Amino acid sequence: MLVGGWRAGGREEMHGLVRAAGLWPVAAVEHRRRVPEARHFVGQGKLQEIHARVLETGSAWAVFDYALSPVQERNLAQRLRCTVLDRTALILRIFALRARSYEGKLQVELARLRYLSTRLVRGWTHLERQRGGINLRGGPGEAQLELDRRLLNKRIRVLQARLDKVRVRYSEQRRARQRNRTPIVALVGYTNAGKTALFNRLTGAAKAVADKPFVTLDASMRRYTPANDDRFLLLTDTVGFLDRLPHELVAAFSATLDEARYANLLLHVVDRADPDYHARICQVEQVISEIGAGQVPCIRVYNKIDRVAGAVPGGMPGQVHISATTGAGLPALAERVLSQLWNPRGDWGTMAPRSAPVVPAGGECNELERNI
Ligand SMILES: Nc1nc2c(ncn2[C@@H]2O[C@H](COP(=O)(O)OP(=O)(O)OP(=O)(O)O)[C@@H](O)[C@H]2O)c(=O)[nH]1
Ligand SMILES: [Mg+2]
């Protein structure tokens, strides 16, 4: 059972997310209220409608396409007598199913615990009223709550420390690459835009590509030689973005997203066949600036033009139309990338890396084909 106030394409996207979380959508209820109601998020009339649909369809889950407060989530679960997920919990569920690498799992676990810690603090405040006897500050409820909170915070600190180590390792590797003067180009974009399809096409990799959200969680890097000469760069495939991406996730994935922040060039891959692609571009650009990559030069790559009638490969400066599936427009893309990264003299320097390389150009990069 889905509940949301969807604009164009939003409902289909929600269906995709729910399926990716291992659930099957059986019914949807539209909700258009502007100001949420404090106790149940939805008004009483709408709540009855949702309850009736839950009973009618026998749904075991109710997924709300909103951020619910812990109290609202608990009240809804009690009233609807089913498991209630909000948008953040749904995305966390997908990420937990998809994470494969060590740091991917760390990041997802950290995001989940951060989400849980807000639930614990505010969602369980009813227990704090269970005070003990004379002059006792807390009863059993409070003691348990404190204990849970402390355990949770301890675990969060442990995970954060492990991730900090991963981050240090990444930044050392980044410095080594800068010394080798190897340009880094990061593929960023909305989930399902075709980043991995393009990555595979350009580098000959065989990473999983599928018509589902968040197929890629673990960033990876490979060598890409755009022209038939000795110039090459390192291409990074990254986790996709989503409209209203929960902040817990953006924060937890900062080690992975650093790769975009420190890249010399971003290729913003857009699904041109998506009717909502204009809105998607804005949403992605917002996340790009939120993660501190707003200053990195960017080429907009309109992908999937084989599915758009009348679209032609190539395009104006700063953008290029391609199809990762058919290969149309890829020579134009290569040419744009090269002219952005290398100046006419042949040394790349028109777009100097943000911390200038110390050692002159030369030297091979030996970190190819590894997960970052
Ligand atoms: N028709 C067509 N389909 C494409 C093209 N590029 C990618 N696709 C399809 O789009 C879907 C998503 O592609 P991915 O490469 O997995 O997308 P992504 O951006 O990596 O997505 P996430 O990793 O999930 O964020 C797949 O079903 C691809 O086959 C294209 O140029 N044309
Ligand atoms: Mg991908």
Strands 370-371 and 220-224 turn out to be antiparallel
Distance CA 45, CA 107 (A): 40
Q: Which domain holds residue 27?
A: 2-85
- Does 81 share its domain with 184? no
List pLDDT tens digits, range 281-294. Answer: 999 999 999 889 99
In a domain, 7, yes or no: yes
- Does 201 share its domain with 322? yes
Among 55, 85, 115, give the residue marking a domain's end. 85
pLDDT at 142: 63
Segments of the chain assigned E as strands: 2-4, 28-30, 61-64, 83-85, 184-189, 220-224, 233-237, 265-271, 298-303, 319-321, 370-371
pLDDT at 372: 31
List pLDDT tens digits, range 347-371. Answer: 555 444 443 332 222 222 223 333 3
- Does 340 share its domain with 198? yes
Distance CA 91, CA 240 (A): 12
Sheet of strand 2-4, all strands in order from the earlier edge strand to the far edge? 28-30, 2-4, 61-64, 83-85
Neighbours of ion ligand 2 (CB under 5 A): 195-196, 215-216
pLDDT at 128: 47
Residue nearest to atom 32 of ligand 1 (CA): 304
Distance CA 21, CA 280 (A): 22
Nearest to residue 202, comparing CAs of 190, 216, 220, 189? 220
CATH number at residue 71: 3.40.50.11060
Residues in the chain: 372
Q: Which of 49-58, 143-152, 322-331, 356-365 has the lowest mean pLDDT?
A: 356-365
233: CA distance to ligand 2 center in Å? 20
Total structural domains in the chain?
2
By most ligand atoms within 8 Å of CB, the mutation choice from 187, 195, 308 for ligand 1 is 195
Stated pTM of the model: 0.84
Looking at all shown ligands, the one closest to residue 191's CA atom is: 1
List pLDDT tens digits, range 65-114. Answer: 999 999 999 999 999 999 999 999 999 999 999 888 888 899 889 989 98
Locus of tokens 């994470």: 99
- Mean predicted confidence (pLDDT) in 159-171: 90
Interhelix angle 102-123/70-80, rounded to 10 degrees, is 80
Residues ≥6 apart with Cβ < 8 Å to 59: 1, 26, 27, 53, 82
